[in-house]
Amino acid sequence: MSNIHFISNQVLELTTINEIITQGKTLKLSPESKTRIQNCRSYLDNKLKEEEKPIYGINTGFGSLYNVKISKDNLTKLQENLVMSHACGTGEEVPQEIVKLMLLLKIQSLNYGHSGSQLATVERLIAFFNHDILPVIYTQGSLGASGDLAPLAHLSLPLIGKGKVNYKGNIVTGEDLLKEFNWEPIQLQSKEGLALLNGTQFMSAYGVYLLLKSYKLSYLADLIGSVSIDAFDGRIEPFNELIHLVRPHNGQLKTAERIRTFLNGSEVIVQEKQHVQDPYSFRCIPQVHGATKDTLAFVLKTFKTEINAVTDNPNIFSEEDEIISGGNFHGQPLALALDYLKIAMAELGNISERRVFQLVSGLRGLPAFLVNNPGLNSGFMIPQYTAASIVSANKQLASPASVDSIVSSNGQEDHVSMGANAATQAFTLVNNVERILAIELMNASQALAFRSPLKSSDFIEAFLQAYRTEVPFIEEDEVLHDDIAASIHFIQNLIIDENDLFS
């Protein structure tokens, strides 16, 4: 299998992006992409020679300065000024894995030949990606409306020898980077600054990253929930297919099927029960986890459309002889999807913490707080507090960013999406869900040990055997922070087959 991914107009799938990143693939423009980029650039150059009338962003100022005409002699300076003046990010640095996705998605958008970029500019971005040259970008500064202006300005600065990059573990200036590779600064041509800065690649990169992580956590929520069901001596009846066929939401059906598969062969699940029903956090797993799955499907559809789209402005249609200024950079579809993702993933954490609470409550033959000699030992009393505090933090983060707006650029940009804020909130929230599930796994594995000599399913027993190499059974009180950290590490490094994640 080739270790090169060819940038083209074929649909870029989430699974393809996952392969590019996990397999360390390099990028290369397809011949068709090169032709589209060159044809668009040639058309724009000829248009500027033939016409004197102002064309927004190409020979005019930007935003509320759209009526200011710029002379041909200053067009390169205009674009460079745009990149430098818009590099106003602040806050924390964007994680490098997301910066790499931003590069990929910006390259993909420029390859369609409606943006007017030079071939040399796109090739330089590809060189950044292939050499792991990752511009330093900041989390704050985008309104998610005229594209992700500030983050994308920082992404673009190194093209002209400005800004900073992460390279081989060091922070390197854009100027020193050019010297390192013996590169000349890119001489930005008309429209190129806008092609680079207008676009939704900050929001989109966060969305892609979080979708990949969320699908994994959705699978793990089902698996860890299954461990909790056996640990709590739960009943299998709520997962019977007949129940779900009469309320056939796709995610609900899928969740119930997974739970049945995970628990198949368990000695605990088939033993006679003393109780008629389980709490909702156990028996309603298909309905709650399933609703999250259906949300992920919607969010995936939205982001799949976006990452295969042209999102800068104006758009150039050389065959139709049209240059049209519109609003494809507006992030409203992504803002709404990211807010929906936040709510759905927060609920996975919410119901997980409720199962933790039930497991430590001294019910169904389990010792209080899942430890021998409770009283002398506090056992698993406080990890539930930790999970509860994270769940409450997620409730606050899940408040929608997309219902907000603020006027900018002297009133010209009078409605914004706040999708960038939704993206960074979602990043924190999804990482929080990972921590909650790690705490549930720690509790469920501890509780299940008290069901011995009965065994769970072969699949769950093998899963827990791997887990026990990093997180041991707790005999008496110790510093549980270390065990929580080890549990998180185990989840983060768990590799799940792609067919299981996206089926």
The predicted structure's pLDDT at residue 503 = 73
The predicted structure's pLDDT at residue 361 = 95
Local structure of 30: helix, strand or coil = coil
The predicted structure's pLDDT at residue 65 = 64
* Mean pLDDT for the stretch of residues 476-480: 93
* Mean pLDDT for the stretch of residues 361-369: 94
Kindly tell me if the per-residue pLDDT of 56 is higher than 80: no
CATH classification code of 206-314+322-502: 1.20.200.10
50 or 390: which leads in pLDDT: 390
d(CA 192, CA 106): 12
d(CA 99, CA 82): 21
Kindly tell me if the per-residue pLDDT of 1 is higher than 70: no
The predicted structure's pLDDT at residue 63 = 62
Separation in Å, CA 223 to CA 151, 294, 352: 37, 18, 12
d(CA 71, CA 80): 15
The 10 Å CB-count burial string (b at 16+, else e) for 134-172 is bbbbbbebbbbbbbbbbbbbbbbbbbbbbbbbbbeeeeb
Separation in Å, CA 384 to CA 354, 427, 478, 481: 9, 22, 16, 12
What is the maximal distance between C-alpha atoms in the chain?
88
74 or 235: which leads in pLDDT: 235
The predicted structure's pLDDT at residue 57 = 67
Residue 334, both tokens: 């992504």
500 or 259: which leads in pLDDT: 259
417-431 pLDDT, tens per residue? 999 999 999 999 999
pTM of the model: 0.96
The predicted structure's pLDDT at residue 423 = 98
* Mean pLDDT for the stretch of residues 206-228: 98
The predicted structure's pLDDT at residue 240 = 98
DSSP code string of 387-423: HHHHHHHHHHHTS-STT----BGGGTB-----HHHHH
The predicted structure's pLDDT at residue 66 = 59
- CATH class of the structural domain 4-199: mainly alpha
Residue 483, both tokens: 């065990």
Kindly tell me if the per-residue pLDDT of 502 is higher than 90: no
Is there a catalytic annotation at residue 66?
no
Residue 206, both tokens: 């966060």
* Mean pLDDT for the stretch of residues 242-254: 98
Kindly tell me if the per-residue pLDDT of 257 is higher than 80: yes
- pLDDT level of residue 448 (50, 70, 90 thresholds): very high
The predicted structure's pLDDT at residue 501 = 85
Local structure of 356: helix, strand or coil = helix
The amino acid that residue 109 corresponds to is: S
Average the pLDDT over each of 127-136, 405-414, 484-493 and give the range with the smallest value: 405-414
Kindly tell me if the per-residue pLDDT of 70 is higher than 70: no
Kindly tell me if the per-residue pLDDT of 375 is higher than 60: yes
Single out the residue of 250, 260, 261 nearest to residue 291, CA to CA.
250
Average pLDDT, the chain: 94
501 or 26: which leads in pLDDT: 26
d(CA 391, CA 389): 5
- pLDDT level of residue 459 (50, 70, 90 thresholds): very high
Single out the residue of 217, 219, 234 nearest to residue 281, CA to CA.
234
Residue 34, both tokens: 């090169």
Residue 84's Cβ-count burial label (10 Å; 0-12, 13-18, 19+) is middle
The predicted structure's pLDDT at residue 74 = 76
Catalytic residue among 56, 66, 112, 138: 56
Residue with tokens 């650029």: 409
d(CA 146, CA 88): 14
3-41 pLDDT, tens per residue? 999 999 999 999 999 999 999 999 999 999 999 999 999
- pLDDT level of residue 136 (50, 70, 90 thresholds): very high
Kindly tell me if the per-residue pLDDT of 61 is higher than 70: no
Report domain extents, the chain. 4-199, 206-314+322-502
380-394 pLDDT, tens per residue? 999 999 999 999 999
76-113 pLDDT, tens per residue? 888 899 999 999 999 999 999 999 999 999 999 999 99
Check: CB of residue 194 under 8 Å from CB of residue 312: yes
> Running DSSP on this structure, what letter comes out for residue 277?
-
Number of helices (H), then strands (E), in the chain: 20, 9
The predicted structure's pLDDT at residue 55 = 74
488 or 47: which leads in pLDDT: 488
- pLDDT level of residue 341 (50, 70, 90 thresholds): very high
Local structure of 380: helix, strand or coil = coil
